[in-house]
């Protein structure tokens, strides 16, 4: 009987320690789903867009990603990749980027600057909606609005 009581006592004492250890293991994945993780992921995507690395860009999209352009037309991820491929290596540069997270959802905003045909530049504000999906940040939707036109 003493032996049984000792075993039960040991289990009760060890249970909180085991629970704390298992929650710590899970926190590693959760920390990647935080604001810092989204900042890093969004920065990597914007670099790929600027460099024209179309093969990398699609990997950030959700399966049902949509893009709404400055003309108000909505296209699928596949169509958007074709549009960006047509731009070649003259991808936009990005500034004033801000990242916010709300649980498993994130919003990235900023300004995209592109060169136009007359040698000047055009600017647009962008909004990206991200979701923490399958252990990583994925871009679900983005939208662009021209500035001053």
Which DSSP helix (H) or strand (E) runs through 102? strand 93-102
* 3 vs 121: which has the higher pLDDT: 121
Q: What is the pTM of this model?
A: 0.77
pLDDT by residue (tens digit) across 9-64?
Answer: 333 333 333 333 333 344 444 557 899 999 999 999 999 999 999 999 999 999 99
Per the listing, tokens 């909180």 go with 16
Gap between the Cα atoms of 71 and 124, Å rounded: 12
Phi, psi for residue 10 in degrees, rounded to 5: -65, -40
Residue 48 neighbours by CB distance under 10 Å: 19
**Cα-trace Rg, the chain:** 23
Average pLDDT value for residue range 110-116: 93
The per-residue pLDDT for 149 is: 62
**At 119, is the pLDDT very low, low, confident or very high (cuts 50, 70, 90)?**
confident
For strands 136-146 and 61-68, give the pairing.
parallel
Question: Side by side, which strands form the sheet with 93-102?
Answer: 74-76, 61-68, 136-146, 121-133, 105-115, 93-102
CB atoms within 10 A of CB 64: 9
Q: How does residue 116 score in pLDDT terms, banded at 50, 70 and 90? A: confident
Residue-level pLDDT at 30: 55
Per residue in 57-101, pLDDT (tens digit) is: 999 999 999 999 999 999 999 999 999 998 776 789 999 999 999
């Amino acid at each position: 009987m003493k032996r049984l009581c000792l075993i039960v006592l040991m289990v009760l004492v060890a249970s909180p320690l085991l629970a704390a250890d298992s929650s710590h293991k899970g926190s590693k994945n959760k920390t990647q789903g935080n604001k810092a993780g989204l900042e890093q992921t969004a920065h990597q995507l914007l670099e790929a867009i600027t460099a024209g690395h179309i093969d990398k860009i699609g990997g950030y999209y959700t399966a049902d990603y949509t893009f709404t352009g400055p003309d108000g037309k909505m296209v699928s991820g596949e169509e958007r990749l074709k549009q960006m491929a047509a731009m070649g290596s003259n991808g936009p540069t990005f500034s004033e980027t801000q990242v916010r997270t709300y649980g498993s959802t994130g919003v990235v905003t900023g300004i995209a600057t592109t060169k136009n045909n007359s040698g000047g530049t055009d600017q647009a504000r962008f909004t990206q909606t991200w979701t923490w999906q399958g252990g990583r940040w994925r871009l679900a939707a983005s939208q662009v609005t021209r500035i001053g036109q």
